[in-house]
Amino acid sequence: MQAYGKSFAKVYNLMWTGFARQVAPFLLDFYAATQPGQENKPVLDLCCGTAHLAVCFLEKGYRVVGLDLSEHMLHHARENARQYIEAGKATFIQGDARNFKMDERFGLVVSMYDSLNHLEDEAALLNCFQCVYEVSEGYFIFDLNTRLGLRRWNNILVDDSDEEVLILNRGVFDEQSERAWLKISGFLRLPNGLYERFEETVFNTAFKMEKVKQALLEVGWKTVYFARLQDLKAPIEEPELEGRVFVVASKV
Ligand SMILES: C[S@@+](CC[C@H](N)C(=O)[O-])C[C@H]1O[C@@H](n2cnc3c(N)ncnc32)[C@H](O)[C@@H]1O
């Protein structure tokens, strides 16, 4: 279980919004060119975090449901998407990506920023794929850190470039358990000038890309391929040579 805690959720909401902004234009372009996208079918943002990506889809007029394990992340998601919730265009629910059910059906399910690397093993990933399959009427796109990418976590990084926040990242990749751990800690300046300490330890599982593909096909997804963000329509042959890959699965 990796539901992000309260103080970390606050910092995440301020500091880790860049990835959502980076991926949004590519995901929006991809979806707009598909039939479910043209039919304006709703989008499910799995492990939605603070809803920065969800808001990009909402701004384009799609209905969005966000699901996350962390009530603290959802608190910020609901604040960030408040106007859309009030307009009935967005819903944010607490749930587990490994085991959820919904009545609503979605033209696109996305899960971004290595959220699915947070799952502990292949069985958990398979359960997640099954749950997504049940609610999907189209496409499922998620990104994964590869083994190559996770090896880069073997590092210590101090970011003091911002006066408001100091971030210390300590990462390690354990080849034996095929898991990378990252301890993120630091201080955030509060409006009263005092500093609040935050700390979160997360792990990413290094899934074998061939097994990921196999699991998706086993669940029933019709086509599955790996791609780079900049061209989500172009399959790549060697996903393990990338630091991060985007997995595109389709039911149609
Ligand atoms: C790296 S953050 C990514 C958030 C968001 N997708 C983004 O792009 O900013 C990972 C998110 O996954 C959530 N999470 C971790 N395990 C989960 C699970 N089993 N089910 C649902 N959410 C989970 C965490 O609470 C956190 O919000």
Q: 181-240, pLDDT tens digit by residue?
A: 999 999 999 999 999 999 999 999 999 999 999 999 999 999 999 999 999 999 999 999
Percent of the chain with pLDDT over 70: 99
Domains of the chain: total: 2
Residue to mutate, 68, 71, 201, ligand 1, most ligand atoms under 8 Å from C-beta: 68
From residue 246, alpha-carbon distances to 85, 143, 146, 224, 239 in Å are 29, 4, 10, 11, 9
End-to-end alpha carbon distance in the chain: 32
Do 63 and 181 fall into the same domain? Answer: no
If asked whether residues 52 and 168 sit together in one domain, one would say no
- Listed in sequence order, the residues at least 6 apart from 70 whose beta carbon sits closer than 8 Å to its beta carbon are 3, 4, 5, 9, 94
Residue 1 included in any domain: no
CATH number at residue 85: 3.40.50.150
Reported as a single tens digit per residue, the pLDDT across 80-125 is 999 999 999 999 999 999 999 999 999 999 999 999 999 999 999 9
At CA 33, angle to CA 31 and CA 38, rounded to 5? 80
Check pocket membership of 19 for ligand 1, CB cut-off 6 A.
yes
> Do 181 and 71 fall within a single domain?
no
Q: What is the DSSP letter of 3?
A: -
| Structure-block tokens of residue 199 | 């700390």
CA of 224 to the centre of ligand 1 (A): 22
CA of 252 to the centre of ligand 1 (A): 27
Are residues 112 and 57 both part of a single domain?
Answer: yes
Which CATH number fits the domain that encloses residue 178?
A: 2.20.25.110
Task: Output the residue whose Cα is nearest ligand 1's atom 13.
Answer: 47
Nearest C-alpha to atom 24 of ligand 1 is from which residue? Answer: 3
* Ligand 1 centroid from CA 192, angstroms: 30
Residue 151 pLDDT > 80, yes or no?
A: yes
If asked whether residues 240 and 191 sit together in one domain, one would say no
Tell me, yes or no, whether 173 and 239 share the same domain.
Answer: no
